[in-house]
Chain A
Amino acid sequence: MDNRLIFEKSDSGRNVNYIKAPAIALKEPNKILPQSLLRSNLELPSLGELEVVRHYTNLSKRNFSLDTNFYPLGSCTMKYNPKINEELSSLEGFLNIHPYQNETCLQGALELIYNLESLLCEITGMSRFSFQASSGAQGELTGMLMVRKYHKVMKNKKRKVIVPDSSHGTNPATSSMCGYETVVVESNKDGLIDLDKLSKAVDTETAAIMLTNPNTLGLFEENILEAAEIIHKNGGLLYYDGANFNPLLGITTPRLMGFDVIHLNLHKTFSTPHGCGGPGAGAVGVVDKLLEFLPAPVIDKKKDKFYFNYKVKHSIGKVRAFYGNFSVLVRAYVYLLRLGQEGLVRVAQNATLNANYIREKLKNDYNVASNKLSMHEVVFSCTKQKEKGVPALDIAKRLIDYGMHPPTMYFPLIVKEALMVEPTETESRKTLDYFIESMLKINKEIEENIQILHDAPHTTPVKRVDEVRAARNPDLRWHPKR
Chain B
Amino acid sequence: MPYILNTENDIREMLRVIGVATLDDLYKHLPSQIRLKNKLNIPSGLSESEVRQAIKGLAAKNKTLDSFNSFLGAGLYDHYIPSALKPLISRAEFLTAYTPYQAECSQGILQAIYEYQSYICLLTGMDVSNASLFDGASSLAESVLMSLRITKRNKIIISSTINPEYKKTLYTYLSGFNFKIQEIDFGAEGSTNIDSLKQALDENTACFALQSPSFFGIIENTENFSSLAKEKGALTILVTNPISLCLLKEPVNCGVDIVCGDGQVLGGNISLGGPSFGFVATRDAFLRQMPGRLVGKTVDRENKTAYCLTLQAREQHIKREKATSNICSNQSLNAIQSAIYLSLMGKDGLTKCALYSLNLAHYLYEKLRAVEKVKFNFSQNFFNEFTWQIDDSKGVIKKLYKEKIIAGLAIEGFYPGLKNGILSCCTETKTKEQIDDFIETLKNILK
Contacts and interface: CB of A to CB of B under 8 A. Distances in A.
27 contacts: A18-B82, A19-B429, A36-B249, A63-B100, A78-B98, A93-B58, A96-B271, A100-B74, A102-B401, A105-B63, A148-B176, A169-B320, A275-B95, A276-B109, A276-B332, A321-B137, A321-B262, A340-B42, A345-B39, A353-B26, A400-B104, A405-B102, A462-B305, A465-B103, A465-B306, A469-B299, A477-B129
Contacts of B40: 122-123, 250, 341, 344-345
A393 to B, nearest CB: 10
B33 A225 contact: yes
Contact of B326 (A23, A174, A462): A174
Interface in B42-65: 42-46, 48, 51-52, 54-65
Contacts of A324: 273-274
A37 interface: yes
A22 B175 contact: no
B265 interface: no
Nearest to B398: A102
Nearest to B61: A108
Nearest to B334: A279
A179 B297 CA distance: 35
B287 interface: yes
B308 interface: yes
Given A34-B381, A145-B176, A172-B320, A339 B97 contact: no
A195 interface: no
B272 A322 contact: yes
Given A460-B105, A466-B306, A179 B177 contact: yes
Interface in A430-482: 455, 457, 460-467, 469-471, 474-478, 480
A253 interface: yes
Nearest to A397: B104
Contact of B304 (A52, A320, A361, A463): A463
B72 interface: yes
Smallest CB-CB A-B distances: 6 pairs: A322-B273, A93-B59, A275-B333, A340-B45, A108-B61, A179-B176
Given A176-B321, A462-B107, A471-B312, 18 more contacts: A19-B80, A59-B109, A62-B108, A63-B108, A134-B274, A224-B31, A274-B96, A276-B106, A277-B330, A318-B169, A321-B75, A321-B163, A325-B274, A352-B23, A405-B105, A462-B302, A463-B104, A467-B310
Contacts of B363: 22, 24
Given A63-B106, A252-B30, A6 B343 contact: yes
Contacts of A112: 55, 58
B104 A465 contact: yes
A277 B100 contact: yes
Interface string A70-97: 0101001011111010111011111111
A164 interface: no
A46 interface: yes
A96 B114 contact: no
Contacts of B376: none
B98 A470 contact: no
A96 B60 contact: no
Contacts of A414: none
Contact of A278 (B132, B168, B248): B132
B334 to A, nearest CB: 6
Contacts of B60: 93, 108
Interface in B206-238: 219, 221
B317 interface: yes
Nearest to B172: A317
A338 B44 CA distance: 8
B360 interface: yes
A357 B274 contact: no
A471 B296 contact: yes
B90 interface: yes
Contact of B166 (A178, A321, A466, A477): A321
Contacts of A381: none
Given A252-B34, A322-B165, A463-B304, A84 B172 contact: no
Contact of B62 (A65, A67, A94): A94
Nearest to B76: A98
Nearest to A340: B45
A280 interface: yes
Interface in B266-309: 269-275, 277, 287, 293-302, 304-308
B19 interface: yes
Interface in A271-319: 271, 273-280, 295, 316-319
B16 to A, nearest CB: 10
A463 B300 contact: yes
